Amino acid sequence: MNNVPLDADRADTVRLSVAEATALGMRALRRIGYNDEEAKIIVNHLLDNALCGYGFTGLPRILAIAREDQTHDARTSDVRYPVKIANETPLSASVDGGNNVGYIAAHRGADIAIEKARHGGLAVVGVYNSYYSGRNAYYVERIVRAGYACIHSSTAKPRVLPPGGARPALGPNPICFGFPSTNGPVVFDMATAALSWGDVMLHAHLGKPLPEGSGFDARGAPTLDAQQALLGGVGTFGGHKGFGLSFAIQALGLLAGSALTRGQVQDFAFLFLAINPDLLIPDGRFPQQMTELVTSIKATPKQPGVTDIRIPSERAFRERERRRQEGILLERKVIELLNAL
C-alpha cells in the first residue's frame, strides 16, 4: 500500500478518524434539530461521500442544511412528519417525504424500491415534499448491492441558468446509473450543472473563488465570487447537450412528483427505477457479463503515457478503503463553523 496519504495535510486542515468525524457530524445535526436516528442516516451518507473523495458533499454539507429554511421549519412537529407512501401499486410507489431533508426521504425511497423489486422484479419510486438528497451514487450503490440495476435522478429548485438565460431555471439535476457485477457495484453518477451547489456553498464558506465560467450573479453576469453566485446560480455543463439532458431530468422530476408539494414544476423530487436483471438476462448471468464488459474495456490498448483505463466508481471505491485507515481531511474553518452552529 502507498504510504503517502491520499489527502495532503495542510496548516488549515485537520485529519479526523471516521469515529471522530461521525461524532462531529452527530453533534452538529442534533443542534439543528435532528434526533439520533435521523442524524445517523445523514452522517453515514456524508461520511461515505468524504471517504469516496467528495469532500464538498461530506460534513460541510451540514452547513448548507443548517442554512435551509425548511430545516428551521422542520423543528416544529406540525410542519415535519414521517415519510409515508401516498400511493402505490405492486411495482410503484409515490412517496411523501414529509418535508424531511432528502438524506432521510430518499433513503426511505431507495428502501421501498429494493423491497418492490424483490417482490415484482421491477420498481419505480418517486419521492417528493423533500429537499437536499445528497450524492445519488450513495443510494444507487445500496440498490445495486441488493442485486438490482438502477437509474436514479433528482431535481431541485432552480439553481442553474439555461444557455442565454439571466436567471436560474433548472436544478443541478444529477442522474446516476448502477449495475451489479461479480466484482461489486459499477456506478456512474453525474450532475448536469457545471458545478454542484454544495461546492458553491463550500467556496462561499471558505472565501475561495469559483472556477472560471461556472458562476453567475443575480443579474446573470459571470462571477468568480461564490457569495454572488449564491444570489444567482451556475451554468450547465457541455453547452446545449448538457442543457438538454438537464431539461429531460427536470421532466423526470415531474414524474417523481415535484409539482405535488407546492404546485411548482421546478422543485425537488427523486426518481428511482430498480430492475432485476433476471427479467431480461436469465439464470443470473448479467453480473458476470457486466464484469466481462469492465474487463474488456480496461484491456483496451492504451495511448502513450496512460497506465490504466478507469471505470466509473473505481477510483471512489478504491479510495474509500484507504481513507477508512488514513482518516478524513477537513478544513479547520469548516470544523469551527460546525462547532459554532
CA distance 340 to 63: 10
List the one residue out of 177, 176, 166, 170 whose CA is nearest residue 156: 170
The single residue listed with the C-alpha cell 439555461 is 162
Binned at pLDDT 50, 70 and 90, residue 72 comes out as low
pLDDT in tens, 132-155: 899 999 999 999 999 999 999 999
**How many structural domains comprise the chain?**
2
The single residue listed with the C-alpha cell 458533499 is 57
Chain-centroid distance of CA 261 in Å reads 21
Residue 217 and residue 174 share a domain: no
Residue 215 and residue 128 share a domain: no
Residue 112 and residue 219 share a domain: no
| Domain-located, residue 249 | yes
Residue 311, classed as helix, strand or coil, is: coil
Residue 223 and residue 281 share a domain: no
309's grid cell? 483505463
pLDDT in tens, 218-237: 999 999 999 999 999 999 99
Give me the residues paired with residue 304 across strands: none
CA distance 222 to 220: 7
| Domain-located, residue 114 | yes
| Domain-located, residue 338 | no
Q: Is there a contact between 297 and 24 (Cβ–Cβ < 8 Å)?
A: no
DSSP 248-296: HHHHHHHHHTHHHHHS-SSS-EEEEEEE-GGGTS-TT-HHHHHHHHHHH
| Domain-located, residue 110 | yes
Residue 245 and residue 153 share a domain: yes
Give the structural domain span for 156: 82-193+236-299
Span 319-327, average pLDDT: 96
CA distances from 174 to 117, 185, 186, 254, 263 (A): 23, 19, 17, 15, 22
What's 162's DSSP letter? P
For the four alpha carbons of 37, 42, 43 and 44, in that order, the dihedral sign comes to positive
pLDDT in tens, 276-308: 999 999 999 999 999 999 999 999 999 999 999
Residue 284 and residue 182 share a domain: yes
List the one residue out of 65, 45, 38, 87 whose CA is nearest residue 256: 87
| Domain-located, residue 19 | no
By 3-state DSSP, what share of the chain in percent is helix, strand and coil, each rounded to 5? 45, 20, 35
Q: Is there a contact between 299 and 305 (Cβ–Cβ < 8 Å)?
A: no
| Domain-located, residue 112 | yes
CA distances from 192 to 22, 48, 134, 155, 165 (A): 30, 22, 14, 11, 16
Residue 142 and residue 115 share a domain: yes
CA distances from 134 to 15, 81, 190 (A): 23, 20, 12
In what helix (H) or strand (E) does residue 138 lie, and over which residues does it extend? Answer: helix 136-145
Predicted pLDDT at 196: 83
Cβ neighbors of 303 (< 8 A, separation 6 or more) are none
Residue 149 and residue 258 share a domain: yes
CA distance 188 to 151: 10
CATH code of residue 181: 3.30.1370.60
What's 70's DSSP letter? H
Asked if the model's pLDDT at residue 84 lies above 70, the reply is yes
What's 195's DSSP letter? S
Q: Is there a contact between 256 and 152 (Cβ–Cβ < 8 Å)?
A: no
| Whether this model's pTM surpasses 0.85 | yes
Burial environment of residue 52 by CB neighbours within 10 A (0 to 12, 13 to 18, 19 or more)? buried
Residue 166 and residue 88 share a domain: yes
| Domain-located, residue 3 | no
Residue 124, classed as helix, strand or coil, is: strand
CA distance 80 to 76: 7
Residue 178 and residue 95 share a domain: yes
Predicted pLDDT at 75: 53
Residue 244 and residue 115 share a domain: yes
pLDDT in tens, 1-56: 567 889 999 999 999 999 999 999 999 999 999 999 999 999 999 999 999 999 88
| Domain-located, residue 126 | yes
Residue 265 and residue 215 share a domain: no
